[in-house]
Structure 1
Amino acid sequence: MAFILRRPFAITATIKQAPKASSTTFRAFHSSPLKQNFFPAARPSNPLPATLSKSRNVFQATFRRAYTQQTIPNPTASGAFRQRLLYGVGIFGATVIGINLIFNRETREDGGMPVYERSYLNDTFMHTGLGIGIIAVAARALHMNGWSYRLMAANPWAVLGIGLVGSIGTMWGAMATPPENYVQKYALWGAFNLTQAALLSPLMFLQPALLARAGLYTLGMMGSIAFVGATAKQEKYLYLGAPLLAGVAIVALSGLAPLVVPATAARTLMVTENIWLYGGLAVFGGFTLYDVQKVLHHARMAERGLMKRDAVNESISLELDFINIFIRMVQILGMQQRRK
């Protein structure tokens, strides 16, 4: 049931909150046509063939764009970039130290992580990174083929139903397949990632810089929390499973609120949006901590022969955590830019 609820439901709301990619460059280019006398006109008695005329126009446009885009370096802008970079590094370092001091006061007492735990954790992280990469590449490809337009124009209830069926079906199929049947398992795992890419492809309407920042912040948040989970005492945070399941149910219901609550109830929608946004960050950050410790717990069980090693199943949980945190980061950054 936890996997059913741990899905991003508010792609449309995120796109509405975040700013669209600017089209000023295209408008400026089309509103300032090239002068016809830039090149000597051809003689009327010897007109240029259509191919040569087209080539000349392309050359003119290329030369014009290259000429007008040359700018003088701005030392103020470079200084502001360095300042923002230093701020980002400082915030990330302070977050890692703060999370480590608050949640990781009691570290492992067994002399460090054993080799089998480290190996299983590395395999899980490798599959998680590979799955996220597949989702990103496939989402971009689907967006370029026009899938995002058709998905945004479709009925949201139909998208929700078909998306849930496809996501849950491929996910449970991959998790139920034994690791020995690796062909079927990886095929279902790949289908699961492609399903996520199809549902997340409308995010490609947003600015690439915003998506890159959201991805960087998500990696920083999950990386710091995963470090805490990997270095904390054994099974210290496994008790969070039940409270996190209750929290994700509340977050999922708040994400569905815009589909059932009337638009006139602005205060209620604002409260539910904050729950979905900031409550979701807390809940899925907790799920990251829980999932990392669960991976280590399963590694110890596999070492004792109580279960089989299955890094694919472990990676699915972390992929869902990443997707949910990433979507909320996109919406938060988009809201901040809209306020400026």
Structure 2
Amino acid sequence: MLVAASTCLQGSRPLVPLIGRCCRWAGGQHPINVSFIRPFRLFPSKQTSMRNRFGRSQLNSTRGNDPSAPPAALDAGRIVIAAGAAVGLGGLCYYGLAMTPTKTDALSAIDRATVWPDYVRQRIKMTYAYLAGSAALAAGTAAALSRSPAFCRAMVGSGWLAPIGMMIASMGAGVVCQMLPYPASGTLGTKHLAWVVFSSSIGAMLMPVCLLGGPLIARAALYTGGIVGGLSAVAVTAPSDRFLAWGGPLAIGLGVVVVSSLGSMFLSPVSRLGSGMAAISLYGGLLLFSGFLLYDTQMVIRRAEMHPPPGHYSDQMFAGGLSVRQPLTIRPFDPINSSIHILMDTVNIFVRVVSILVGGGQRRK
């Protein structure tokens, strides 16, 4: 039960903020005197449905920018921020590569990679291959479902029912996928089928994001790729596995972000408490899942190094010349489960980057 509970918590990372956003778009229209608590609606009104809000955001994107914020100044600011981030990440990578102490317990993953056996390299390659496959399946599913009028009506026109149902289905698919053992032979089986279903359910959850338009999604994907690539480089080049000690603080931060996401679903966004919780869910969540990405990247490497090699445990063990049956069965290394954690971090970062880009575009109007 404890493993199942932790699996549900791990699989629910990208779902609560996205459902909160869907339900916020589907909420009722505020009266003139906005109250502290947001009105709860099970079904949306026509004026405040998600589709109408997406239509207004796309209509506003075709208008000119505010003269007080000229595009040249905004582009210059973005270039400065991007250059500063690149210099910072490059400095961290240089510190890990060129200034690492010579002690064995302070070697980075790149230093240890020179003595890795072939099976460790193969495990890491398979993990990131499944990660790329999951991302491709999720993106393809989201793009395909966004062209289905029936599914769009079900997701954006049914209030809370469809998003919550999709969230439960995605969580169930994630739990089943992580509970199934990976086949020792590596052939296609039930584990791979559950992996396809789970990746497709993530794409179905991300379908409303596709309604924001291709240019914004492309920019968000580009920024997300830069964030994930830079943080992965930092995790690989960091001296020792120091990010593995972040598990406890990250778990506490996850609880804070989940509570903030749930609170922002019901509190008015113009109130101090509601806007504060929304900011914690958005910007705090971006920092939190960036930390989770560092943690999970080093955890993937640690699992690949520490898991017993193939064929190490046979059906029988010999001690003192006597044949002894092995009491425990060691499962083979599971690259799918390892890739799911990084996929969750990437999806959460992507959703928050999209939200930041949408909010920044609306403030410039």
Q: TM-score range by the shorter chain?
A: 0.7 to 0.9
Report the residue type matching 2:253 in the other structure.
G
TM-score scaled to structure 2, two decimals?
Answer: 0.69
Contact 2:173 2:198 in 1 (8 A): yes
CA spacing shift, 1:179–1:264, aligned 2, 3 Å: closer
Secondary structure (helix, strand or coil) at the match of 1:21 reads helix
Query: CA offsets per residue over residues 116-159 of structure 1, 9 Å max, x none?
Result: 44332222112111111111111111010122232011131x33
Match of 1:97 in 2: 90
Instruction: Give 1:186 shift.
Output: 0.9
Match of 1:269 in 2: 274
Partners of 1:332 and 1:251 in 2: CA distance: 16
Instruction: Give 1:338 shift.
Output: 1.2
Secondary structure (helix, strand or coil) at the match of 2:340 reads helix
Contact 1:108 1:233 in 2 (8 A): yes
Match of 2:130 in 1: 127
Secondary structure (helix, strand or coil) at the match of 1:20 reads helix
Match of 2:317 in 1: none
Contact 1:92 1:220 in 2 (8 A): no
**Count of residue pairs brought into register by the alignment:** 286
Contact 2:142 2:203 in 1 (8 A): yes
2:259 paired with 1:253: yes
Partners of 2:359 and 2:200 in 1: CA distance: 28
Q: Calculate the aligned-residue CA RMSD, in Å.
A: 3.3
Q: Which moved more, 1:172-181 or 1:87-96?
A: 87-96
Contact 2:289 2:345 in 1 (8 A): yes
Instruction: Give 1:192 shift.
Output: 0.5
Give aligned-pair identity as a percent.
25
Query: CA offsets per residue over residues 28-56 of structure 1, 9 Å max, x none?
Result: xxxxxxxxxxxxxxxxxxxxxxxxxxxxx
Match of 1:324 in 2: 348
Match of 1:155 in 2: 159
CA spacing shift, 1:87–1:209, aligned 2, 3 Å: farther
TM-score scaled to structure 1, two decimals?
Answer: 0.74
Partners of 2:269 and 2:341 in 1: CA distance: 37
Contact 2:108 2:238 in 1 (8 A): no
Match of 2:243 in 1: 237
Choose from 143, 147, 153 the match for 1:144.
Answer: 147
Partners of 2:191 and 2:83 in 1: CA distance: 42
2:215 paired with 1:209: yes
Match of 1:336 in 2: 360
Secondary structure (helix, strand or coil) at the match of 1:154 reads coil
2:176 paired with 1:173: yes
Contact 1:299 1:309 in 2 (8 A): yes
CA spacing shift, 1:311–1:83, aligned 2, 3 Å: same
Structure of higher RCO (CA pairs closer than 8 Å, 6+ residues apart): 1
Report the residue type matching 2:154 in the other structure.
R
Contact 2:154 2:162 in 1 (8 A): no
Secondary structure (helix, strand or coil) at the match of 1:308 reads coil
2:316 paired with 1:311: no
Partners of 1:155 and 1:191 in 2: CA distance: 24
Instruction: Give 1:257 shift.
Output: 1.4
Partners of 2:55 and 2:296 in 1: CA distance: 30
Task: Mark the runs of 5 or more structure 1 residues left unpaired by the alignment.
Answer: 26-76
CA spacing shift, 1:325–1:264, aligned 2, 3 Å: closer
Partners of 2:224 and 2:89 in 1: CA distance: 13
Match of 2:32 in 1: none
Secondary structure (helix, strand or coil) at the match of 1:250 reads helix
CA spacing shift, 1:248–1:145, aligned 2, 3 Å: same
Secondary structure (helix, strand or coil) at the match of 1:237 reads helix
CA spacing shift, 1:84–1:127, aligned 2, 3 Å: farther
Instruction: Give 1:161 shift.
Output: 3.4
Partners of 2:207 and 2:305 in 1: CA distance: 38
Match of 2:194 in 1: 188
Partners of 1:193 and 1:218 in 2: CA distance: 18
| Higher fraction of helix | 1
CA spacing shift, 1:23–1:195, aligned 2, 3 Å: same
CA spacing shift, 1:125–1:212, aligned 2, 3 Å: same
Report the residue type matching 2:175 in the other structure.
W
Partners of 2:132 and 2:239 in 1: CA distance: 25
Partners of 1:313 and 1:168 in 2: CA distance: 14
Choose from 6, 23, 26 the match for 2:13.
Answer: 6
Report the residue type matching 1:246 in the other structure.
I
Match of 1:29 in 2: none
